[in-house]
Amino acid sequence: MPAKKIIVVVGATGNQGTSVANTFLKLPAWHVRCLTRNPHSDAASALRTQGAQVIQGDLTDPASLTTAFQNAHAVFVNTDFWTTWYPAKAVLCAEGKSYEPASEMAFAVETLHGKNAVDAAAAVPSLERFVYSALPGTSKVSNGKYTRSKHFEAKGWVVEYISKQQPELWKKTPLIYVGAYTTNRLLTPRLDPTSSGRYAFVLPVKQETRIPIINVQQSIGQFVRALVEEEEPGVKLLAYDSYLTAAEIAEVWSRASGKEAVFVPIAPEAMHDKMGVTWEHLDSQAFINEYGYTGGVVGVVEPAQLKRKVATKSWEDQLKEMNWTEVLAA
């Protein structure tokens, strides 16, 4: 029996990483090595119970990455912006300061993490695929118009770092552009106080703007498997279960829930001023409204274009499986 190949999942206890680990744990040809900062957490223990090798590592510690990536054939990396941003924002706001420096802090941390992972992976002779969970850099694409969504900017920076600073690794790198999570607040309508029983999707985009939607824990692992086992390096995949316009989102939710929902466009400025939504979140929505979800990324493919069809449930089918009495009561 041939030796198993090794895939290293960085951030294996997060939403994306858990899905990737769970998918490859079901494949007899693969050994799954999970990198996590806390190998004693419940999530880490659950992975270990399923047969994963769980090791402690930190993206701020290059030496731990060198150990984790040893003899790997594939590496999946999703760098994390929000773990830094939310606590930093809370501290700044508690002090009566602007939250915007939190974005710069989180950008610095995420790009450092990405650089460390890239450099460590580039030094692994056995490596065949380096899968990075990416987003487009909004400022470069928009010629400086959209600069305030640093979570997009950071991932765009890492992609550019791979391509320019580690060209040999770039030859082994497929990218996965992950759609909006099904748990995203923008995909949950508000009860319209001006009408009886009607709901409203209040979104800072035009009705024809298309938004990819994905159930991360169910689907990401399947897409990453396709990129590792079937696709050539260099593929840039927009991963989603459904790809709907803003207007269609309201229509689909209405059909699944049995409740009337409408799409209500709102200017990003109004959403910021009246509803308190940060520009860290809104600037990317304005970018998507003008350029599309993967604006500026050349050669993006969609799930139907993969060599092996990845069968995931549509967002509508997922909604139909929900207990709407409980959901609406909440």
Q: Beta strand 5-10 with 74-77: parallel, antiparallel or unpaired?
A: parallel
Are the beta carbons of 175 and 134 closer than 8 angstroms? yes
Q: Work out the average pLDDT over 260-284.
A: 94
Percent of the chain's residues with pLDDT above 90:
90
Q: Which fold has domain 5-329?
A: Rossmann fold (3.40.50)
Edge-first strand listing for the sheet containing 30-36:
53-56, 30-36, 5-10, 74-77, 129-134, 175-178, 236-239, 300-301
| Euclidean distance between CA atoms 89 and 104, whole angstroms | 11
Split at pLDDT 50, 70, 90, the class of 191 is confident
pTM: 0.96
Residue 43 has pLDDT above 70, yes or no: yes
Please return the burial class of 42, using the count of CB atoms within 10 Å of its CB with bins 0-12, 13-18 and 19+. exposed
b/e 270-296 (16+ beta carbons within 10 angstroms → b): ebbeeeebbbbbbbbbbbbbbbbbbbe
| Distance, CA of 317 to CA of 239 (rounded, Å) | 17
Express each pLDDT in 6-27 by its tens digit: 999 999 999 999 999 999 999 9
Calculate the average pLDDT of the chain: 95
The confidence band for 157, taking pLDDT boundaries of 50, 70 and 90, is very high
**Continuous H helices in the chain:** 15-25, 42-49, 62-68, 82-94, 100-122, 138-141, 150-165, 167-170, 216-229, 246-257, 268-275, 279-291, 315-320, 324-329
DSSP 187: G
* Residue type present at position 42: D
Residue 1 predicted with pLDDT over 60: no
Helix (H, G, I), strand (E, B) or coil at 25: helix
Average pLDDT in the 308-318 region? Answer: 94
The β-bridge partners of 212 are 243
How confident is the model over 140-155, as a mean pLDDT? 97
> Strand 129-134 and strand 30-36: pairing?
unpaired
> For 218-267, what is each residue's pLDDT tens digit?
999 999 999 999 999 999 999 999 999 999 999 999 999 999 999 999 99
Starting at the edge strand found earlier in the chain, the sheet holding 242-245 runs 180-181, 210-214, 242-245
Tens-digit pLDDT profile for residues 128-137: 999 999 999 9
What does the domain layout of the chain look like in residue ranges?
5-329
